[in-house]
Chains A and B, each alone.
Chain A
């Protein structure tokens, strides 16, 4: 107890340092928690929404392109007498808010069901609280364009107070939907998950989604655990249709964003690692400051175990306090991260709307434990050192630093070993992300352990400078190597992360920009919200002969193959980018590729090729003559791969084929995109009104983008994707900044007497302040300098190993010298900023206070 009281006294006397320690842990934990919670919330929201839409169905009949012939349902129900089945048409619609028509249109999920088959599956229709419910059900069946709204939204829009509320469509030419009633999901959780769902009749949904004659899936209830029943049901299905668990579909979609989440988590863990350095630094300083105190306690009979226990106990308690604060901070920060994560998931992977962070207790507990464990681990070495050193040596102030210097060869040797292991892991013929991150961790930790030796050498060079203050600054840092090396390491790490990620993002952006320039060859691109009739393309060209020189059509869909997984299928009537598209590999010269596609060959994108290679379904090393077998609606079809093209549009990968081939095997003549070439000499802005008028006459919900607009929009999505990482990088730097601040404060406190002496010998207050700033500049400058090679190495690993494995994208490394210069300036700037307060204190110190300073020990 008496030991605890002495510690309490110390921490009370050193409030600022104690606060820095607590805040360092809090910030590290907050970053980890915020990313964890945001990822978890997005996944959970998606799962809840999927479960809400699936209801009680334990199986689903699906097809690879979410298109089942309606006749299959009739056949199953009537011919095969399957009663526990329900047809579903599901799709997305964009609607304007009737109360705020100027606001951007919002995406809704339209769920089309058969009210007569629904009862065993979903209670959405039964839960409606309207007195006119029967009427509403009947209207759903009989009146086109009618929908039910979730209760909260219905209340907001006044459904019930008036017979119907009109919901305007994105394209003003299309008739609005008519909200005639409400549905109330059974639980609040379900209500939140289904707050952007519109419920309607099958026929209405088919009409609105242009899916006449087709269903998205058939929900099925089979006895649980009855394998025979499953087998019997499966046997009833035609080629192209499969029976699967609903969770399989959800999991397939969630898998898509896994790599993105791993990358974010890795970045947040790095912040915690930098936080560990900060904790270690602060703890080491508090221990060093009390070495004499510990030595006295040892002399009086305290055992090493008692002392070690005391130090570890007090730091872990502070760690716990910091971690709890960090969890609170993480929840606040998580709301912001969630917005970024949701945006990226919607842009890149699947539609999900999350308004609130889901507080998962296991994650919060993990954050608290991680903070306490980080504090415990960081305190272990200093505690051991303080408790094991013989008291007689503890009284010698230089003993610790001597030991640190003596350890330099071993530490540097270990660094080289770690570095080699890291490089080995990166070179390991594995395709896993875990190996890649372990390799990166080895390389980064190896580089971090080389900092003390490098710092010692570089400070030695500065110590030979003719300027006295520079000499003093460098030698002071050399003398306090145990602390200065740690702060420099923390700063080096965070700045190298900034360089690594900035160079990677910059290279990525540049690669995407170049790629967009290569593939965007048409003047205008039309993308429709829902598939349109094939004849629309011909009608458009026929209507505008003086405007359009050529109209090329395409059909793009997300394809779910039972063997090959989820990827995009792109069927084109003409490869508009054929002359400029770049290939990783091609079976024949560029001009011969299209004829081969017309003959039934396919091109696949690099991410798809790499993903299939990981699963052993494609050999990237010998691609010639390889085939892919797809479960098309007309059964299994085999295609010869004729080329692998670079593509950054989707990490899921794309398979491109000639449209006639697609129509033949998929039995789907509809279109989702048009590429328009204007007549020579016609400006895009001149042509736009005529094209828009023609598209409106077709009654389509579409986006029309000129070449440049599409390019800018694509880059805007790109920038949004990396906005989250930008914020995390800045916060990591903040943790490192706290590390430098803590070190500079420690040096400042520790050398009060020495500074007083220098002042007595003639150092002016301004010189004294400069001395402190020079120390900060030395640490910042060296950290920045060492961060350059480490950051570049990190960017190479991110580009050549991690990005390639996570997303399958080959990127060209584009190095902008300004990035390096800015990073170095950032390191120096943040160190100088950290040095400002102690410098200000030095500058304010009057001569008359020096006698007191000299008495300080």
Chain B
């Protein structure tokens, strides 16, 4: 999915003082590529991902995903668009403790009220994705029984459940040990690239720079191509 950011600005109030996080950011991200957003804590990476997913609103500017301007959508159209087009992986996994692993993966499809995804039943699709992330045998477990790396793999499967063209990942390895981080990244890349999806990932870790198709640095409110 082709992404266009047009003069995007965002300011937060901190102790009564305005703090500009993004200033007039304009950028185009081609479809089907892995885009890495680098930056220190508080630089605005997560804010940019939030604006991309429509869960935060810019003070100025527009976010275009394909032919859709996200900022012009009203509820519930915005939610419907997000359901169909965006998968999200969070740093802290955010699995629902009341649901089993399989139910967590199925959740976006059930919320959308669909009976089938890509010609398969929801259960089949969820189990296939769990198999793809190596957790088919834990389908009926509760999330709290899994390790951090396993939980993040479930979150990846959930993000891919509706087969969205865009996957957003906010520090997906930030809460994992090195080995688990490597495994999760490998899976994320493998599954998104194989399906030709766009992946936008925010991180402060330069370890993944070599894997990305393009790398940007968020610094002092600007989004610029990263140079080593």
Specify whether A and B are partners.
yes
A positions within 8 Å CB-CB of B: 398, 468, 471-472, 475-476, 478-479, 754, 756-767, 846-852, 854
Contact A851 B55 (CB under 8 A): yes
B98 engages A767 (CB within 8 Å): no
Contact A398 B96 (CB under 8 A): no
CB atoms of B79 and A764 under 8 A apart: yes
Instruction: Specify which chain A residues have a CB less than 8 angstroms from the CB of B103 in the assembled complex.
Output: 471
A-B contact pairs, 19 of them (CB 8 A): A468-B107, A471-B103, A472-B99, A476-B98, A479-B97, A754-B96, A757-B94, A757-B96, A762-B79, A762-B80, A762-B108, A762-B111, A766-B76, A846-B57, A846-B75, A847-B75, A847-B82, A848-B56, A854-B90
- Can you name the residue of chain B whose Cβ is closest to the Cβ of A845? B75
Besides A475-B99, A764-B75, 17 more A-B contacts (Cβ < 8 Å) are A398-B97, A472-B99, A754-B96, A756-B55, A758-B107, A761-B107, A761-B111, A761-B158, A762-B108, A764-B76, A764-B111, A765-B76, A846-B75, A847-B54, A847-B78, A850-B55, A854-B55
Chain A residue nearest to B71 (CB atoms) is A848
In the complex, chain A residues whose CB is within 8 Å of the CB of B88: 760-761
A476 and B98 alpha carbons, distance in the complex (Å): 7
A468 to B104, CA, bound (A): 11
Separation in Å of the B41 CB from the closest CB of chain A?
Answer: 14
Identify the 6 closest CB pairs spanning chains A and B, nearest first. A475-B98, A762-B83, A848-B57, A850-B55, A851-B56, A762-B111
Q: Are B96 and A759 in contact (CB under 8 A)?
A: no
* A475, A761, A846: most-surrounded residue (chain B CB, <10 A): A761
Complex interface: chain A residues within 8 A of B99 (CB): 472, 475
A478 and B98 contact, CB distance less than 8 A = yes
A448 to chain B, nearest CB (A): 26
In whole angstroms, what is the CA distance A70 to B181 when docked?
Answer: 110
Partner of A398, one of B90, B111, B144: B144
Q: Nearest Cβ distance between residue A574 and chain B, in whole angstroms? A: 75
Chain B residues contacting A471 (CB-CB under 8 Å) are 103
Assembly CA distance A796 to B161 (angstroms): 56
In the complex, which residues 41-61 of chain B have their Cβ closer than 8 Å to any Cβ of chain A?
47, 50, 53-57
Q: Known: A472-B98, A762-B79. Is A848-B111 also a contact (CB below 8 A)?
A: no
* A591 CB, nearest partner CB in chain B, Å: 73
* Residues of chain A lying within 8 A (CB to CB) of residue B107: 468, 758, 761-762
C-alpha spacing A762/B110, complex, angstroms: 9
Which residue of chain B has its CB nearest to the CB of A768? B79
Interface check B195, CB cutoff 8 A: no
Cβ of B132 under 8 Å from chain A: no
Shortest distance in angstroms between A471's beta carbon and chain B's nearest beta carbon? 8
Q: Are B80 and A468 in contact (CB under 8 A)?
A: no
Q: Is B69's CB within 8 Å of the partner chain A?
A: no
Distance, CA A188 to CA B108, complexed state (A): 77
Q: Decide if B82 touches A762 in the complex (CB within 8 Å).
A: yes
B residues at A contact (CB < 8 Å): 47, 50, 53-57, 75-76, 78-80, 82-83, 88, 90, 94, 96-99, 103, 107-108, 110-112, 144, 158, 162
Q: Which residues of A contact B55 (CB under 8 A)?
A: 756, 759-760, 847-851, 854
Cβ of B80 to closest chain A Cβ, rounded Å? 7
Contact present for A762 and B98 (CB under 8 Å):
no
- State in angstroms the CA–CA spacing of A556 and B75 once bound together: 77
Q: Cβ of B54: which chain A residues have Cβ within 8 Å of it?
A: 847-848
Chief secondary structure at chain A's binding surface: helix
| Residues in B neighbouring A478, C-beta threshold 8 A | 98
A847 touches B79 (CB 8 A): yes
B49 and chain A: residue at smallest CB distance: A851
A766 cross-chain contacts in B, Cβ below 8 A: 76
- Closest CB in chain A relative to B92 CB, distance in Å: 9
Q: Across the two chains, which residue of chain A brings its CB closest to B56?
A: A851
Tell me the bound Cα distance from A529 to B66 in angstroms: 94
Within 8 Å by CB of B108, from A756, A761, A852, A854, lies A761
- What residue of chain A has the Cβ atom nearest to residue B96's Cβ? A754
Report which of B57, B111, B158 forms a contact with A468, defined as CB distance below 8 A: B111
Contact B111 A758 (CB under 8 A): yes
- Contact (A763, B79) CB under 8 Å given A468-B110, A847-B55, A851-B50: yes
Give the nearest-CB partner of B88 in chain A.
A760
Question: With A and B bound together, what is the CA distance between A726 and B118 in angstroms?
Answer: 60
Complex Cα distance A852/B97, Å? Answer: 21
Structural contact, B98 and A479, CB atoms closer than 8 A? yes
Among A754, A765, A854, the residue within 8 A (CB) of B79 is A765
A342→B56 CA distance, assembly (Å): 63
Q: Cα distance A478–B107 when bound, in Å?
A: 19
Instruction: Please report the C-alpha to C-alpha distance between residue A398 and residue B94 in the assembled complex, in whole angstroms.
Output: 15
* Chain B residues with CB below 8 A from A398, complex form: 97, 144
Report how far A447 CA is from B90 CA in the complex, Å.
Answer: 45
Question: Nearest-CB distance from A476 to chain B (Å)?
Answer: 6
Which of B50, B75, B112 makes the CB contact (< 8 A) with A762? B112
Please, how many angstroms separate the alpha-carbon atoms of A337 and B167 in the complex? 66
**Bound complex: CA A468 to CA B111 (Å):** 7
CB B162 to nearest CB in A, in angstroms, measures: 8
Contacts of A468 in B (CB 8 A): 107, 110-111
From residue A614, how far is it (CB to closest CB) to chain B in Å? 56
- CA gap between A72 and B3 in the complex, in Å: 114
A610 to B158 CA separation, bound complex (whole angstroms): 72
Bound-state Cα–Cα, A114 to B145, Å: 95
Residues in B whose Cβ lies below 8 Å from that of A848: 54-57
How far is B158's CA from A849's CA once the two chains are assembled, in angstroms? 22
For A761, the chain B residues whose CB sits under 8 A away are 83, 88, 107-108, 111, 158
Compute how far the CA of A846 lies from the CA of B50 in the bound complex, rounded to whole angstroms: 13
Q: How far is the CA of A767 from the CA of B56 in the complex (A)?
A: 20
Contacts of A756 in B (CB 8 A): 55
CA distance A468 to B83 in the complex (A): 16
* Complex CA–CA separation, A598 to B198 (angstroms): 107
Q: Give the complex CA separation of A173 and B82 in angstroms.
A: 89
**A831 to B112, alpha carbons, bound, how many Å?**
28
User: A843's closest neighbor in chain B, by CB?
Assistant: B75
Residues on B with beta carbons closer than 8 Å to the beta carbon of A767 = 111
User: Cα distance A849–B54 when bound, in Å?
Assistant: 9
A758 to B110, CA, bound (A): 11
Question: How far apart are A779's CB and chain B's nearest CB, in angstroms?
Answer: 16
Whole-angstrom distance between the Cβ of A285 and the nearest chain B Cβ? 19
For B78, what are the chain A residues with a Cβ–Cβ distance below 8 Å? 847
From residue B154, how far is it (CB to closest CB) to chain A in Å? Answer: 13
CB distance from A139 to the nearest CB of B (A): 88
**CA–CA, A260 and B82, complex, Å:** 64
Q: How far is the CA of A846 from the CA of B71 in the complex (A)?
A: 12
Q: Which single residue of chain A is at the shortest CB-CB distance from B51?
A: A851
Contacts of B97 in A (CB 8 A): 398, 479
For residue B112, which residues in chain A have a CB less than 8 angstroms away from its CB? 762
Closest to A847 in B: B78
A39 to B59, CA, bound (A): 65
| A478→B96 CA distance, assembly (Å) | 13
CA distance A765 to B83 in the complex (A): 13
Chain A residue with Cβ nearest B106? A468
A846's closest neighbor in chain B, by CB?
B75
A764 touches B94 (CB 8 A): no
Complex interface: chain B residues within 8 A of A763 (CB)? 79, 111
Give the CA-CA distance A553 to B79 in the complex, in Å.
84
The residue in B79, B88, B107, B110 that gathers the most chain A C-beta atoms within 10 A of its C-beta is B79
Assembled-state Cα–Cα distance A479/B98 (Å): 7
Return B143 CB to nearest CB of chain A, in Å: 11
Contacts of B75 in A (CB 8 A): 764-765, 846-847
Q: For B90, list chain A residues within 8 Å (CB).
A: 854
Q: CB distance A759 to B56 under 8 Å? A: no
A792–chain B nearest beta-carbon distance, Å: 34
Alpha-carbon distance between A759 and B96 when the two chains are bound, in angstroms: 13
Task: Name the residue on A nearest B159 (C-beta).
Answer: A761
B165: min CB distance to chain A, Å: 15
* Residue in B47, B96, B158 with the greatest tally of chain A CB atoms within 10 Å: B96
Contacts of A754 in B (CB 8 A): 96
CB neighbours (8 Å) of B83 from chain A are 761-762
Contacts of B47 in A (CB 8 A): 851
Residue on A with the closest CB to B170?
Answer: A854
